[in-house]
Chain A
Amino acid sequence: MWRFVARRLLHALPVLLGTTFLIYTLVFVLPGDPIQGLAGDKPVPPAVLAELHARYHLDDPLWMQYTHYLAGLLTGDLGTTFTGREVSDLLADRWAITLQLGLTAWVLELVFGMALGVWAGLRKGKWDDSAVLFGTTLIISVPVFVVGYLAQLVFGVQLGWLPVAGTEGGWPLAFLLPGLVLASFGLAYVARLTRSSLIENLRADYVRTAHAKGLSRRRVVVKHTLRNSLIPVVTFLGLELGGLMAGAIVTEYIFNLPGVGQQLFQSIQLREGPVVVGTTTALVLIFLLANLLVDLLYGLLDPRIRHD
């Protein structure tokens, strides 16, 4: 198994190089001058423009800019923003927020999504199953920002139960509402996935055999059915761990959480190449690790799947 892990980590290297180069190219080929863009319709004196261009290597060809960036990376320097801030400082400030938000959402998805799915699956065709199906369809079909603004208005302004925005309430209070909004889509998806997977497995031969052997219903459901039904759910939840980090862009914007997603949003608008590349690289890394984790979990859930 360790060889498998080592091989997967080695694979990550070219993927990381490839993605950084790709993103760098995409940012670079965008036409126009980012410094002039920052100034809007105001004139920028030529001397100031020249100085800023030199400072951020904006006049160099793509490969040179990318080499500068990589050389910086090797020495642990992620570059600076156009307002002169270190990208590493900037991300360090923000990762904690995004992690708190992402994990809150992820736990909500896992706990409530699976619970709802199991409940609906076991009561297939009954009214509560239909209610879960209807509710989750509704959530999946409504855009996140609508859910977000609605949740703010209802729970924040009208009822006053939770903070409307910002991080002042601290964890978990300030993260409950945005976490739930961020989790809403995944939660609905996990519920439906668990439900259908459970229903399918409840019909399987080995379940009938287990019942025939006289095992308790509880044991059949938990030990035999659920464990097998969880493989697609775990796959989804694993990838979701990375997805939530990236999906935080909209939620962090609505709930005014100064996380990585919000930063990415602003940096793309300002064409801050190094910030966009740095953030995205980190996100790619999380995706890769989550993927690896999922693959390793498979082995635990189903001993037939082996890694060597």
Chain B
Amino acid sequence: MSTAHMNTARSTALAASVALTLTLVGTACGPAESTKPNNAPNKPGGAYSVALTEPDHLLPGRTTSSYSLQVLQGLFDPPASLDPKNGTVKPLAALSWLTEDNVVWTITFRSGTTFHNGEKVTAASYADAWNAAAYGPNGWDSNYYFAQIKGYDALNPTEEGAKPTARTLSGLKVVDETTLQVTLKAPFGQFPMLLSFPAFAPLPKAAVAKPDAFDVAPIGNGPYQLDGQWERNQKIKLKKFPGYGGPREAMADRIDFKIYTSRETAFTELQAGNVDVLTTVPAANSMQAKRLFGDRFSIRPSGTMDYLGLPVKDPRFADPRIRKAISMAIDRQGITQAIYNGVYKPATSIVGDMIPGHRPEACGKTCAYDPAAAKKLLDEAGGFEGPLELYFSNSDATYEQWMTSVANQLKDNLGIQDVRFRKMAPADLSSLLNEGRNKGPFRQNWVIDYPSIQNYLDGLYYPGNRSGWSNREFDALVAKGNAAKGTEAIAAYQQAEDIALRDLPYIPLWNWQDQSAWSDRIGNVVIDSYAAGLHLDRVTVND
């Protein structure tokens, strides 16, 4: 559930609302977790291998790449973790987090745990890690996760040429060895969700002092430790950490990450029995994988969504009716069937299927394919003049395929004859959209950081967002949600979502789904749709 305070009084109400949302979600898409009946006994020991794409960094604060996070899942225990079934936030390295006002949070950590090198994990290990990540000049990738904490702005001046006026976040206070007090800039009930992110994991002294050396031989506090060094582009080997004192006792003794540049090759290797798990089977191989792997193949909803963004400042797109007409002229079902083998799911809301608080009816008629109504709406709004330019990147062949379908549907259903493609490299597209130089609709994608409606609202509709849309009522509702707790917060976020859907600066298109397959050598495979991915500690080896 998107707000998860560990105040016991709240957690019962919370559990109830989780259950409620899950029954709603369950009919639409099944659980976010993919786990299959396990015929092998849950015995510890053995070794297995996981196919991986080369990570960018293995220092938690330096990366937001899912490939890195998959490895860090074994190496580090962040303060919290997300339940693979429903995304509720649970304590991991922390014991509790308490707040009265959603502003000041008191986090208590487990005592007596150590890093893989024997160094003691204390509240300062967390504060040091967070300060380093939040310090702008370090240029660490996870920097913006810390933007909610008081003092962040002093570490990240926005004026050109300005130097930071502080090295540490004023909102962090180490109370004692196991207690950290965090003060946020504004009330933010979703804060515990952030704590599940590896960037919030503790770091030993060596990490901050020598980040480059740490990157290839990270020392964490998780159930697994690195065996040797990261062999670039080849292998990352993990072994069980005997001194682990946390709640995630590891099953297998060893894990080998084998690094592949091509997912097709990784899939071939899985078939040949040279690797045990592939968490992302290429969409083109889904039928084959289903046939070959049977119940060792699973599809799970991902929080990732595709949208068509619209430049609302352009007078031609200023009328919400025009934007709705475009949305209703798009046949989502047809496109996901033809291009994504029916694996991706047509969107019915701004947020992904497996997000607590997701409402399948949120978008309603606006996201339903209705060419006649679309044309009528467009005519009412005065029609569309001039060329319609569609912006997207060339990083995946399917982008052009679905854009072509969208273009054809806009031609056929709305009578917009002059549709043009603006296809470009991702770096180019990002800069162009961020500067608002686009003259037409664009492909927008959102990968969740944590499963909360707030993450979508904040990620897409932030002030100065790519569509140029802003709405005071929306901002107020998001702020209200941030300050509220439990179901109250969700209700406020849902109201904000309704405003975003009414105005429709972003047209929701579809929800990604991830496909995984694994060998018969292993059991108890739990893969979630959040940052954790494959739960490394739970996998058992059969032989």
- A30 and B428 contacting across the interface, CB-CB below 8 Å: yes
- A157 and B64 contacting across the interface, CB-CB below 8 Å: no
What does the 1/0 interface line of B420-446 toward A look like (CB < 8 Å)?
000011111111101000000000111
Top 5 A-B pairs, shortest CB-CB distance: A37-B427, A47-B136, A32-B428, A258-B233, A32-B427
Chain A residues with Cβ below 8 Å from B425 are 30-32, 37, 271
Chain A residues with Cβ below 8 Å from B258 are 166
- A45 and B56 contacting across the interface, CB-CB below 8 Å: no
Given contacts A156-B268, A255-B265, A43 and B462 within 8 Å (CB-CB):
yes
Chain B residues with Cβ below 8 Å from A31 are 424-425, 427-428, 431-432
Chain A residues with Cβ below 8 Å from B264 are 149, 254
- Asked if B178 lies at the interface with its beta carbon under 8 angstroms from chain A, I say no
A262 to chain B, nearest CB (A): 6
Given contacts A48-B156, A157-B272, A266 and B261 within 8 Å (CB-CB):
yes
- Asked if A84 lies at the interface with its beta carbon under 8 angstroms from chain B, I say yes
Q: Is the interface of A mostly helix, strand, loop or mixed?
A: helix
A163 to B274, CA, bound (A): 9
B144 to chain A, nearest CB (A): 5
- Asked if B164 lies at the interface with its beta carbon under 8 angstroms from chain A, I say yes
- Asked if A137 lies at the interface with its beta carbon under 8 angstroms from chain B, I say no
Chain A residues with Cβ below 8 Å from B234 are 166-167, 258
Contact of A157 among B266, B268, B426 (CB under 8 A): B268
- A164 and B272 contacting across the interface, CB-CB below 8 Å: yes
Q: Is the interface of B mostly helix, strand, loop or mixed?
A: mixed
Given contacts A47-B164, A51-B136, A164 and B156 within 8 Å (CB-CB):
no
A108 to B444, CA, bound (A): 48
Q: Give residues 40-57 of A contacting B (CB, 8 Å).
A: 40-48, 50-52, 55
Binding site for A on B (CB under 8 A): 56-57, 64, 136-141, 143-144, 147, 155-158, 160, 164, 212, 215, 232-234, 258-262, 264-266, 268-269, 271-272, 274, 395, 424-432, 434, 444-447, 459, 462
- B269 and A164 contacting across the interface, CB-CB below 8 Å: yes
B277 to chain A, nearest CB (A): 16
A48 to B56, CA, bound (A): 17
Chain B residues with Cβ below 8 Å from A165 are 260, 265, 268-269, 274
Chain A residues with Cβ below 8 Å from B144 are 42-45
A266 to B53, CA, bound (A): 12
- A271 and B427 contacting across the interface, CB-CB below 8 Å: yes
A49 to chain B, nearest CB (A): 9
A164 to B266, CA, bound (A): 10
- Asked if A83 lies at the interface with its beta carbon under 8 angstroms from chain B, I say yes
B128 to chain A, nearest CB (A): 19
- B427 and A30 contacting across the interface, CB-CB below 8 Å: yes
Chain B residues with Cβ below 8 Å from A33 are 427, 430-431
What does the 1/0 interface line of A151-170 toward B look like (CB < 8 Å)?
01100110010011111000
A217 to B475, CA, bound (A): 92
A15 to B361, CA, bound (A): 64
- B272 and A156 contacting across the interface, CB-CB below 8 Å: yes
Which among B259, B261, B425, B459 has the greatest number of chain A C-beta atoms within 10 A? B261
B465 to chain A, nearest CB (A): 9
A43 to B141, CA, bound (A): 10
Given contacts A47-B164, A164-B269, A258 and B426 within 8 Å (CB-CB):
no
A271 to B426, CA, bound (A): 10
